[in-house]
């Protein structure tokens, strides 16, 4: 049965990747793959789907929907008002076309560290990136990597980030968003610097080989950038309120409550600042709400799949091996979160599945909660960015109209190959000093 369970788990993952790559919706794909895992693991199908799957789905929804809803509306506020565009244009103005990659990464980091949805960031940054890369004659296929690196790498795992990947561990370790100390800050900086240089090196090599700014064969109409009526200072004010207020309040009230209060404050101030440039507040709220439902439903579907997978004999065996590594407890936690995030193709989904199971086990070993928080966050941002990751697929295909064949190698370099060694360094440092 154990062998069949392993085969079923691998087959379920492979099928999930295949169906996602073929453009089949993740909600339907996750259900089909969960059924496959349940059948090959000897689980009662009705219990697996109506109990395990639905508890995973609804549990994640109950905990995170309010924050994701406010975040999505905040993202629409920043986008509809022109504030996000103002930030992107400022990066373009300060850094110039010669530093196109740095400008795109920097603008993405500011927006996502300010709590703006990564999907909003992608659509907002692309017209700016298009102009910058065309001016610098950098191959178009590197634009997805620049956008993805600036929005889901160091920004979502660094101390103080209001992104959900940095907040989920607070629920299970009783920590704040700044957990992990100076080592966490250094690891975020290491990802940022090494990934930035790696992407620039890869683009320079392509240019040296004679590769120019070229569009994919089926690209269609070119992107057109525009100016924003919002000043840069006004644009970043809600972000400062959100990040600063959140990190201040999280030391006095529960983290999720701190995030909600900070988001409401930033939404209120942002609306008052941008009221003249928002054409339809009602449409902004309704669109943001719809985006929130789509985003959380996709993640909940993946968490549901993982909840079924977590009941399989194969998964139990994997956890037993990883949690019985004498002297390598932090490494076991890191590997477990990394593997589960890779299976689900989602950093938040992987954390939502792994930590309810693993956190009590490792806490009973007397490990430092802050260290476990930061290791878990960093670990979620490695194998999650495999080709079937929803944001990766959206950025490459829908936003940039590229292909995986052209664009994914650079994405893989900055979102998988760079974070994994940094994770290993983090494990070593936390093992030595915590």
Average pLDDT over residues 200-216: 92
Q: Give per-residue pLDDT as tens, 301-344.
A: 888 888 898 899 998 888 788 777 777 889 999 998 998 888 77
- For the chain, how many structural domains are there in total? 1
Residue 225 pLDDT exceeds 60: no
Confidence (pLDDT) at 23: 66
Of 64, 61, 32, 66, give the one whose Cα is nearest residue 49. Answer: 32
> Taking CA 124 as the corner, what is the angle to CA 95 and CA 140, rounded to the nearest 5 degrees?
65
Burial degree of 277 (CB within 10 A; 0-12, 13-18, 19+): middle
Is the distance from CB of 43 to CB of 311 less than 8 angstroms? yes
Query: What tokens were used for 31?
Result: 């259900």
Collapsed DSSP state (helix, strand, coil) of residue 226: coil
Is the distance from CB of 157 to CB of 169 less than 8 angstroms? no
Confidence (pLDDT) at 39: 95
Full residue range of the structural domain in which residue 44 is found: 1-433
Residue 392 pLDDT exceeds 80: yes
Average pLDDT over residues 190-211: 94
Q: Give per-residue pLDDT as tens, 394-419.
A: 788 778 888 888 999 999 999 999 99
Q: Give per-residue pLDDT as tens, 90-112.
A: 877 887 767 889 988 988 888 88
Dist CA 53 CA 12 (whole Å): 14
Of 176, 156, 180, 162, give the one whose Cα is nearest residue 370. Answer: 180
Residue 40 pLDDT exceeds 90: yes
Q: Give per-residue pLDDT as tens, 258-291.
A: 888 988 999 999 999 999 888 888 998 998 888 7
Buried b (16+ CB within 10 A) or exposed e, 17-36: bebbeeeeebeebbbebbbb
pLDDT more than 90, % of the chain: 42
Output phi, psi for 385, to 5 deg.
-90, 30
Residue 366 pLDDT exceeds 70: yes
Confidence (pLDDT) at 210: 93
Dist CA 315 CA 305 (whole Å): 12
137 sits in the region (left: phi over 0; alpha: psi -120 to 50; else beta) called left
What is the Rg, in whole angstroms, of the alpha carbon atoms belonging to the chain? 21
Regarding predicted confidence, which is higher, 298 or 337?
A: 337
What angle do the packed helices 329-344 and 347-363 form, to 10 degrees? 150
> Taking CA 136 as the corner, what is the angle to CA 135 and CA 140, rounded to the nearest 5 degrees?
90
Place of tokens 């007397």: 366
Centre a 10 Å sphere on the Cβ of residue 222 and count the other Cβ atoms it contains.
Answer: 11
Confidence (pLDDT) at 328: 83
Instruction: List, in order, residues 6 or more apart from 45 with CB less than 8 Å away.
Output: 35, 38, 39
Query: What tokens were used for 159?
Result: 């101390």
pLDDT more than 70, % of the chain: 96
Q: Give per-residue pLDDT as tens, 112-169.
A: 887 776 766 777 788 778 878 888 899 999 999 999 999 888 988 899 888 888 989 9
Centre a 10 Å sphere on the Cβ of residue 231 and count the other Cβ atoms it contains.
Answer: 13
Instruction: List, in order, residues 6 or more apart from 18 with CB less than 8 Å away.
Output: none
């Amino acid at each position: 049965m154990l062998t069949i369970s392993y085969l079923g788990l691998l087959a379920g993952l492979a099928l999930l990747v295949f169906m996602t790559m073929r453009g089949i919706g993740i909600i339907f794909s996750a259900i089909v793959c969960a059924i496959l895992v349940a059948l090959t693991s000897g689980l009662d199908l009705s219990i697996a789907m109506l109990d395990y799957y639905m508890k995973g789905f609804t549990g994640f929804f109950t905990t995170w929907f309010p924050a994701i809803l406010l975040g999505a509306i905040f993202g629409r506020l920043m986008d509809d008002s022109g504030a996000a565009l103002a930030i992107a244009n400022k990066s373009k103005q300060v850094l110039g076309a010669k530093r196109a990659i740095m400008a795109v990464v920097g603008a993405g980091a500011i927006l996502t560290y300010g709590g703006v949805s990564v999907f909003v960031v992608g659509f907002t940054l692309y017209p700016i990136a298009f102009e910058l890369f065309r001016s610098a004659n950098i191959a178009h296929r590197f634009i997805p990597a620049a956008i993805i690196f600036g929005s889901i790498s160091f920004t979502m795992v660094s101390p103080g980030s209001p992104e959900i990947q940095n907040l989920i561990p607070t629920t299970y370790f009783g920590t704040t968003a700044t957990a992990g100390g100076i080592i966490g800050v250094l690891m975020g900086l290491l990802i940022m610097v090494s990934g930035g240089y790696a992407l620039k090196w890869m683009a320079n090599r392509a240019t040296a080989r004679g590769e120019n700014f070229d569009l994919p064969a089926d690209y269609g109409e070119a992107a057109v950038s525009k100016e924003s009526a919002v000043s840069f200072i006004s644009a970043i004010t809600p972000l400062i309120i959100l990040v600063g207020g959140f990190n201040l309040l999280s030391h006095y009230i529960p983290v999720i409550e701190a995030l909600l209060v900070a988001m409401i404050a930033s939404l209120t101030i942002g609306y008052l600042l941008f009221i003249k440039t928002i054409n339809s507040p009602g449409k902004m709220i309704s669109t943001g709400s719809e985006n929130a439902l789509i985003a959380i439903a996709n993640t909940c579907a993946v968490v549901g799949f993982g909840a079924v997978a977590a009941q399989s004999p194969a998964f139990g065996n994997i956890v037993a091996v990883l949690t019985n590594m004498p002297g390598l407890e932090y490494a076991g936690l890191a590997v477990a979160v990394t593997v589960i995030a890779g299976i689900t193709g989602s950093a938040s989904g992987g954390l939502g599945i792994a930590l309810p199971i693993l956190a009590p086990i490792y806490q009973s070993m007397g490990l430092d909660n802050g260290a476990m928080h930061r290791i878990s966050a960093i670990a979620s941002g490695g194998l999650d960015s495999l080709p079937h990751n929803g944001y990766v697929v959206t950025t490459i295909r829908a936003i940039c109209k590229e292909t995986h064949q052209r664009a994914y190698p650079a994405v893989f370099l900055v979102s998988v190959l760079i974070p994994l060694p940094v994770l290993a360094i983090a494990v070593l440092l936390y093992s030595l000093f915590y």
